[in-house]
Each structure stands twice: as structure tokens, then as C-alpha cells.
Structure 1
Amino acid sequence: MTTIHIYHTNDIHSHLKTWARTREYLQTQRRIHEQQGEACFIFDLGDFIDRADLYTEATLGRENVHLLDEAGYDAVTIGNNEGITLSKEALAALYEQTEFDVILSNLKEQDDTQPVWASPYKIYTTHDRIKIGVIGATAPFYDYYGPLGWKVTDPIKNLQKTAKEIGERTDIVICLSHLGLNSDEILASTIPNIDLIIGSHTHHVLKHGKKVEQALLTGGGKFGQYIGYSVIKYSAENHKIEKIETELIETSQLPHVEGETREFEALHNWGKEQLSVEVFHASRYYNLEWQHDSHLARFFAEALMDYAKADCAFFSAGIFLTPLKKGPVTAYDLHQMLPHPINACKIEMTGAQLKACLQKIDEQNAEWSQMELKGLGFRGRILGKMLKYHCEVKKDELYVNGMKKQDDARIQVVTLDMFTFGWFFPELKDMKKTYLLPHFLRDILAIYGYKYFGK
């Protein structure tokens, strides 16, 4: 009987407060298993980085990836925070010099070739010649990957094809899935030779897994709260898995590692130091308000419309977490102000469509302005008042830049991508739109600030 030990992390999102404990635990467990002559694998399921974090932002995640290397990971797949919050060049740079494998079947170059830094699968062989096929895929954000220069394809079809391709060459098939629980259930139901699906993306917690058909599904929450641990007992004589089980290990309950607090603070301080570079020099102070218009919001609106070449804009006041100070403004200052991994989105609307959106804002603003929001890339506290610039409805007539617009007029509107996902404005999902990538909101403000003020 061969025993295979599998550890995993997922959706850490640069929450590195317990990283020292996680690293120490994984390295210790690997030593123990290897001394006992048993196979051990360590995987990460993506969204290890999050650009809301200073340490991550300072090198666009490259230093985070070094942490995985130092801990001894065997393989990873990517999440959307690696895939769509970085330019194509920055994503490739993440994995240029890593010791671990990147397993990813559904992200291709535009000509359908495999990125040089990733493989659709890997087959690992234990000391007693058990062959373990590992496949992986990430969530297909089609509207983002295309403009970034990638070709993302249907992950379920890709995994079905890959699992079939390696089926006769492997004894065990494991999937690294950054797809979410619903997709994992579909995989289990449609891929008969898949044995273990290590899941992520939807931050689900499955303390002892979930059996679907022949496969065991796992889920380890988010932010490094858990380490997943799965054990497979495989009978070489019978050519089958005799037992497979999983559990979650709570990182807060792991033994204290000497210097762990200093290590975490050092990462934060290093990131702050790297970002303390002047971007522009503001000639005045710009205040922020969450429930009203402000000098800062108006300045940002001009930056947004200039960047998008749009006629008008709307966005929420709660995106600003600090004011814009007078004097030298650094990349760190802008990151503190706008930490969100949010992009601008340009939408072509008719006059009737824009008028309906603005009327909806007027109707919902009292409720929306107080809403505490988590997710959609938003890293603030409350949504704040929805602000409109260069567009308004007066006496049931639409005005853009002071000019009355008819219902069939074509208008270029810029807003934040978080408002196009269907939660606030379901009607925006089907409109013609362009996500303005790869720059985040803070980058847009930096570009305009330099243009407006200079250094």
C-alpha cells in the first residue's frame, strides 16, 4: 500500500500574517514523510497574490512567488489575481525563475500555443513507481484575458480532454482547480478518472471534503486561514485507490514561529519603502467625502474621462480611502488612497440607456451610499454616494456636457468594472464595453497627476 500526502493552500490573497507558520509546517511535514519513505506533494491553487497588499504591489507579485519557492511547493495553478490584475509581461515574469511547476490547461497564447512558463499537466512518479497525473485550470474571465493578449478557453472542456489524454499513463489523477465549487462538481461528474479535486476561487470551506461520484472535492476557505491536507492510500496490487480523505488544518492553531511578527512587519515595511517614490507634485490639497461630491472626486473624474476618452463618468465616492495631500505624492500614497484591484470600463450607451442608469442612481443612492461592500475588487469600507460627472437628468431630459441628448444618441461613458458585473446594473452586462487594461484606478490617477502637475 502506497501512502501519498498532499498539502495545499488557496486564495491567500497576500494575507501573509500566518505565512511563517504555514511555511514551517509544510517544510516539517515534508521532512517527516520523506524520512518515512512516503510521497509528499505541496500545491497552491492561485490567488496567492493580491495587489491591495504593499509587498505584492512593490514587485507585482514576484516576491510573493519567491515565498512559494522557499517553502518548497511542487506546483501551482494561477487564479484571477495572477491572471487578470497583471499585464501579460508581468504575469510571465512571475514564473520565469521558479523551481515549482505551473500547471494550467486553459490559458494560451493568441496563436493557441502553450505559454513557456506553464504546462497543461504534469505526471509525477513516486519512489514505488505510482504515477500521479496533475491537471489544472483557472476561471475564464474572457473579457479581461483577451485585451491583455491571452486566449483563455473553456476550463471544463480542457480538463476533460487533458484528463483523458493522461488517463492510460497515470494511476491517480488530481486536479488543481481555480474554478469554484459548482465547476468542481461538474468536473467530478464528467471526468470518470479524476480522483481528487483541490478547489478554490469561491472560498468554500469543506472541512472533510465532499464526495461527488468517484472524486473527493476539497475547499480551504481564504486568506491563509487553513492548510488543506489530503491522504491517498493506493494499492499497487489491485491498481486502485483503497482510501482517500481530507481535512483542514487551522493555521492560527499551529505552533508559534520565533520572529514571525517581525517577519510579517518586515514584508510590509519593505513594500512601503519600495513604493515611496514620488509620482507627481500636487499644488493643492484635495479633500475626500464618502457621502458628497469632493475636490478629489472631481479631479479623479477628469483623470478617468481623460484616460478613457469618454464623454462622462459615474462611480462611487467610497473608492477613496485617503485624501490627496499637497506636495509630493508617492506611489505609496496612491496605493493607500486606491488599493482596489479595479479597472476602468468604457461603455457605449444610447441616450435612453444612460438616462435609465442615472435615474437608477438617483433612486438607489440613499441605500447604496451606506452599503458595506466586500468583493468585486472593492477594498474600501462603504460604497459611498454614486457620483455623476458631465451627465445629468433634468425634467426627464438627458444632458451630457450641458447638451441635451436624444434617446438614440451614442455616448461614451466610463465607470468602474465592478459596476458591470450585474450586481448594481444588470443591464450593463450585455452592453458593448471595453475594459481598460492593465491599469488600475491608482495608475490612472498617477498618469493624469503627472500630466496635470508634473514632478
Structure 2
Amino acid sequence: MLEAGSSLLGAWESLSSDGQVTVEGMNAMGYDAMGVGMMDGIKGLDVLLARREEAAFPMLSANLTYVEDGALVLEPYAILVRDGVRFGLLGLTGPQFTQGPGLAEIVAVEDATEAAAHYVPELWERADVVIVLSSLGKAADNALAAAVPGIDIVIGSSSAYLMPEPDRAGDTVIVQQGYLGEWLGHLHVRYDDQGAIAEAASRYIALDENYPDDPDLAALVARYQALYPTPAPATPTG
């Protein structure tokens, strides 16, 4: 299971706990990797790095660097092996990330296309499938796929689109599905004998009343709701 970014901080419980409830939930669900998106820095870099240490999955960004020396803040990619297939997962962060408190003085968001062009060939030396976890937005995802050869799949976030069918840019499949944890995206691809994607089909699944809450996750959320009660709305005066 993969997350493209901007997922740590949103609901009251996640904002109040600096994303701890989100990471605990993602750990419990068995997430494999997460790209870091623009909203993941709104509590500051120290909070993001603390959550990375708690996560049982890698948080990735190939274009988020320290201003001081240009070093990467996070791992740029991860290799995930499933059923003998090596998946190379590359994270790309949108430029709005530095709008978080104090971030512009500490970190920079480098050009995503240049970062992808640098790392994709390296990934092909270690992986059978290359997937980008992007928080650039849908239009930028399509432009990235057209500009950088060798990307099999772009999984996007930040634009909140529901896509009944994936986009294609050359040999690359581009998908994203919804926002706020209300939707689950499922992508099925078939490769031809030359290793190119011959067919791709995606669908979005509404996580509504047809999918009962997992008892353990419901208990986790309830625990954080007790720790951080939602403030009562202000009473109008005058």
C-alpha cells in the first residue's frame, strides 16, 4: 500500500498530535512507503522528521534538500520486493512545501523533473518497475511523465482528483484517487513481453458505510480523540 503525500496532518486529531495518530494508523495498516507532500511540513521540519523515525515505512523525497549544504533531507527512493518483483519507489515533493513555518530558511524544493531524470536511471539498475509517488499535482504529473523516460507509474496527490481511468503519457501510467482518506485507489497493469505496460485499469473505492471500521483502528482514533477533544464551536455574541 502506497501514499503519495500530504497525508500526515489534516483532521483535528492528526493536527493536535503532530501526525502521531496518522503514523500509528499507517503502521497498523501496513503501508509500504509514503512520498512527502506539501502539507506534511505545516508543523515544521522537526515534526516531520520525528514522524519519520516512528514510521515503519520509508518517507521519500528526491528533491527536498537542506539550504545549507544541498544534502537530501530524506531518502530519495526505496526498493520494495513483492513476489520476486523489485519495485523502485521515488518520492517527489511539490514546491509549496516550503510555505510551512520556518521551512524556507532551512530547506529547498529542487526541480522535480531534474531529480527524476537523475534517479530514474539509477532505479532501473536495481528495480523491475519504477513508480513515482508525487505531490506535484495532476498537470505536473503528466508533464513529468512526458519529460522523463523510464517511469512506469506515477501515483499522484494534492489535486484531489477521482480518476475512473488512468492517464497515459508515452509509456507511463498516471493515477490519483481522491483525498482525506475517503477513497482507496486500485490499479491493475499488464506488461507485455518487452516489459512495457500493455494494459492499465484503475478504479476508486469509496470508504463508506459499506466498509465497516476496523476495530483496532477505531480504538486508535478514539484514544486520540480522548486526548485531543474537538473544540466546541464558538458561540455568537451580540
Which interval holds the TM-score relative to the shorter structure? Answer: 0.7 to 0.9
Q: 1:225 to 1:97 in 2, by over 3 A?
A: closer
Give the alignment partner of residue 138 of structure 1, picking from 93, 102, 105.
Answer: 93
Looking at structure 1, the residues matched to 220 and 125 of structure 2 have their Cα atoms a distance apart, in angstroms, of 46
Taking structure 2 as the reference length, what is the TM-score of the superposition?
0.85
Query: 2:8 corresponds to which letter in structure 1?
Result: I
Q: CA deviation at 1:267?
A: 3.5
Query: 2:211 corresponds to which letter in structure 1?
Result: P
Deviations 1:8-33 (A, max 9, x none): xxxxxxxxxxxxxxxxxxxxxxxxxx
Partner in structure 2 of residue 121 of structure 1: 77
Looking at structure 2, the residues matched to 148 and 207 of structure 1 have their Cα atoms a distance apart, in angstroms, of 40
Give the alignment partner of residue 113 of structure 2, picking from 135, 156, 162.
Answer: 156
1:229 alignment partner, SS class: strand
Q: Is this contact kept in 2: 1:156–1:183, CA < 8 A?
A: no
Taking structure 1 as the reference length, what is the TM-score of the superposition?
0.47
Give every structure 1 segment of 4 or more consecutive aligned residues whose post-TM-superposition deviation is greater than 4 Å. Answer: 258-266
Looking at structure 2, the residues matched to 133 and 195 of structure 1 have their Cα atoms a distance apart, in angstroms, of 10
Asked whether 1:209 is paired with 2:166, we answer yes
Q: CA deviation at 1:148?
A: 4.9
Partner in structure 2 of residue 232 of structure 1: 189
* Number of positions where the alignment pairs a residue of Structure 1 with one of Structure 2: 233
2:13 alignment partner, SS class: helix
Deviations 1:325-384 (A, max 9, x none): 9xxxxxxxxxxxxxxxxxxxxxxxxxxxxxxxxxxxxxxxxxxxxxxxxxxxxxxxxxxx
Partner in structure 2 of residue 255 of structure 1: 211
Looking at structure 2, the residues matched to 66 and 206 of structure 1 have their Cα atoms a distance apart, in angstroms, of 28
Q: 1:196 to 1:248 in 2, by over 3 A?
A: same
Asked whether 1:76 is paired with 2:34, we answer yes
Q: CA deviation at 1:245?
A: 2.3
Q: CA deviation at 1:98?
A: 1.6
Q: CA deviation at 1:182?
A: 0.7
Q: 1:263 to 1:100 in 2, by over 3 A?
A: closer
2:142 alignment partner, SS class: helix
Partner in structure 2 of residue 44 of structure 1: 3
Asked whether 1:62 is paired with 2:17, we answer no
Q: Is this contact kept in 2: 1:107–1:114, CA < 8 A?
A: yes
Q: Is this contact kept in 2: 1:177–1:184, CA < 8 A?
A: yes
Deviations 1:36-87 (A, max 9, x none): xxxxxx1112221335x3312332112211111111000001122212x112
Which of the two has greater helix per residue? 1
Looking at structure 2, the residues matched to 174 and 71 of structure 1 have their Cα atoms a distance apart, in angstroms, of 21
Q: Is this contact kept in 1: 2:21–2:224, CA < 8 A?
A: no
Q: After the TM superposition, which of the residue ranges 153-162 and 142-151 deviates more from structure 2?
A: 142-151
Q: 1:239 to 1:178 in 2, by over 3 A?
A: same
Q: 1:215 to 1:266 in 2, by over 3 A?
A: same
Query: 2:234 corresponds to which letter in structure 1?
Result: T
Q: CA deviation at 1:323?
A: 6.3
Query: 1:231 corresponds to which letter in structure 2?
Result: H
**5+ residue gaps, structure 1:** 1-41, 276-320, 326-455
Give the alignment partner of residue 156 of structure 2, picking from 176, 185, 199.
Answer: 199
2:208 alignment partner, SS class: helix
Q: 1:174 to 1:255 in 2, by over 3 A?
A: same
Query: 2:9 corresponds to which letter in structure 1?
Result: D
Matched-pair identity in %: 22
Partner in structure 1 of residue 122 of structure 2: 165
Q: Is this contact kept in 1: 2:134–2:141, CA < 8 A?
A: yes
2:143 alignment partner, SS class: helix
Asked whether 1:92 is paired with 2:4, we answer no
RMSD: 2.8
1:217 alignment partner, SS class: strand
Q: CA deviation at 1:119?
A: 1.2
Q: Is this contact kept in 2: 1:87–1:148, CA < 8 A?
A: no
Looking at structure 1, the residues matched to 183 and 44 of structure 2 have their Cα atoms a distance apart, in angstroms, of 30
Query: 2:2 corresponds to which letter in structure 1?
Result: F
Asked whether 1:322 is paired with 2:234, we answer yes
1:157 alignment partner, SS class: helix
Q: 1:62 to 1:261 in 2, by over 3 A?
A: closer
Q: Is this contact kept in 2: 1:108–1:150, CA < 8 A?
A: yes
